[in-house]
């Protein structure tokens, strides 16, 4: 066990969470959500994506949301950019980090970004170069690192290949994503071991969707490897429009409850985080998809 004493969470709720909502969420609500997350102590927030509005209409207000932020010093604001068109639009909104997103599965790459893995790397190359030239950080998301909705199980060698290609084009750190939440601890550890052939422990993060209820177990499995960066989504928002049936990311509230219970520091105030989750869940007309949040909200009433 080399469990870290401190963990950094990136809340991806405003992006991964909201991208899947059918009803357009007003930009003002998205901005308020980001403000509440930073007040709760989130030091990294994935705000939006600069993708085609025909593909993901919910993210069409990307520039408006970025412009409306009252930025807090010490907070890193990231956005997704699949190509140069997205990057050029994103750069004007001054993100601290951009995210290129590829996949360990060919079929998912085609469905999600309309190109093969090899083509995606060629699209990312100038984006990564331009971002680094502009002093903007670069993260790479690798989808379907354990399973794919179209291809089934994914071998760790596929993850290693994409990690290597991302490393070669200058991506600084990578997210090991279980897009459809089918992973179990040993499979997830194998995916990390594959990525760790090309990135060090400080440069990999876990991104677990909770479709099968395995995300916290997978988080613990990654912690045991020493991984200390994770993505999660306030109130368990979300899903991917190109992975039907997949639910949201693991709820940030649940991950914080787990970590604090293990004596691991996050810098996050769980009460304020629960308020942020309640705010967005009320705006969407539902209860938070977080066991810890609902338990603690019930306790507040008592
Ligand atoms: P394409 O159709 O192959 O692109 O889509 P194209 O270059 O041929 O352009 C076609 C049209 O799209 C043109 O417009 C372009 O201007 C426009 P038209 O001339 O037809 O009016 N276009 C854009 N507009 C705005 N911003 C852009 C942009 N690029 C082209 N950046 C593309 C390729 C990648 C754009 C498309 O497939 C796309 O937008 N995909 C979005 C996929 C997406 O957002 N998926 C969800 C995020 S990934 C995720 O959730 C997984 C993750 O959480 C990790 C995990 O859990 O696995 C990260
Ligand atoms: Mg995701």
Å from CA of 103 to ligand 2 middle: 11
Å from CA of 119 to ligand 1 middle: 14
Residue of 115, 144, 148, 240 with catalytic role: 240
Q: What is the pLDDT, as a whole number, of residue 240?
A: 66
Identify whether 148 is part of a domain.
yes
Residue range of the domain that includes 147: 8-301
* 3-class DSSP assignment, residue 222: helix
Residue with tokens 């405003």: 14
Asked if residue 235 has pLDDT above 80, the reply is yes
Atom of ligand 1 nearest to the CA of 85: 31
Identify whether 16 is part of a domain.
yes
Identify whether 130 is part of a domain.
yes
Band (266; pLDDT cuts 50, 70, 90)? very high
Asked if residue 238 has pLDDT above 90, the reply is no
User: 10 Å Cβ neighbour count for 9?
Assistant: 26
What is the CATH classification number for the domain harbouring 225?
Answer: 3.20.20.70
- Which residues 6+ apart lie within 8 Å of 114 measured at CB? none
Identify whether 46 is part of a domain.
yes
Identify whether 281 is part of a domain.
yes
Tell me if 145 CB under 6 Å of ligand 1. no
Band (243; pLDDT cuts 50, 70, 90)? confident
pLDDT tens by residue, 23-47: 999 999 999 999 999 999 999 999 9
Asked if residue 247 has pLDDT above 90, the reply is no
Q: What is the pLDDT, as a whole number, of residue 177?
A: 98
Asked if residue 252 has pLDDT above 70, the reply is yes
Average pLDDT of every residue of the chain: 96
For the question of residue 115 being annotated catalytic, the response is no
In this structure, of 127-141, 157-171, 187-201, 239-253, the range with the lowest mean pLDDT score is 239-253
Write out the two tokens for 114.
Answer: 């309309």
- Which residues 6+ apart lie within 8 Å of 21 measured at CB? 58, 284
Identify whether 2 is part of a domain.
no
User: 10 Å Cβ neighbour count for 94?
Assistant: 14
Number of domains in the chain: 1
Q: What is the pLDDT, as a whole number, of residue 239?
A: 65
What residue owns the CA closest to ligand 1's atom 33? 113
Q: What is the rounded CA–CA span in Å between residue 181 and residue 218?
A: 10
Q: What is the rounded CA–CA span in Å between residue 95 and residue 91?
A: 7
Identify whether 108 is part of a domain.
yes
Mutate-to-test residue for ligand 1 from 46, 51, 209, 249, highest number of ligand atoms within 8 A of CB:
51
Residue with tokens 């060090």: 200
Band (219; pLDDT cuts 50, 70, 90)? very high
Band (244; pLDDT cuts 50, 70, 90)? confident
């Amino acid at each position: 066990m080399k469990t870290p004493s401190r963990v950094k969470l990136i809340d991806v709720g405003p992006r991964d969470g909201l991208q899947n909502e059918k009803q357009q969420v007003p930009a003002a609500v998205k901005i308020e959500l980001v403000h509440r997350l930073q007040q709760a102590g989130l030091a990294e927030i994935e705000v939006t994506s600069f993708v085609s509005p025909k593909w993901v209409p919910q993210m069409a207000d990307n520039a408006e949301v970025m412009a409306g932020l009252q930025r807090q010093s010490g907070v890193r604001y990231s956005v997704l950019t699949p190509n140069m068109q997205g990057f050029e639009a994103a750069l004007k909104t001054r993100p601290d980090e951009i995210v290129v997103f590829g996949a360990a599965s060919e079929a998912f790459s085609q469905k999600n970004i309309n190109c093969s893995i090899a083509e995606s790397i060629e699209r990312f190359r100038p984006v990564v170069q331009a971002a680094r030239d502009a002093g903007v950080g670069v993260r790479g998301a690798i989808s379907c690192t354990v399973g794919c909705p179209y291809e089934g199980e994914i071998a760790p060698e596929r993850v290693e290949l994409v990690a290597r290609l991302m490393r070669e084009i200058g991506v600084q750190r990578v997210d090991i994503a279980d897009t459809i939440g089918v992973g179990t601890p040993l499979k997830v550890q194998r995916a990390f071991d594959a990525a760790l052939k090309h990135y060090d422990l400080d440069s990999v993060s876990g991104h677990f969707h909770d479709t099968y209820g395995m995300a916290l177990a997978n988080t613990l499995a990654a912690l045991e490897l020493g991984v200390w960066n994770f993505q999660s989504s306030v109130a368990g928002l979300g899903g991917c429009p190109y992975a039907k049936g997949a639910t949201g990311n693991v709820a940030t509230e649940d991950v914080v409850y787990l970590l604090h219970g293990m004596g691991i520091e996050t810098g996050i105030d769980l009460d304020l985080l629960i308020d942020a989750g309640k705010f967005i869940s009320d705006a969407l007309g539902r209860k938070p998809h977080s066991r810890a949040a609902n338990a603690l909200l019930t306790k507040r009433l008592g």
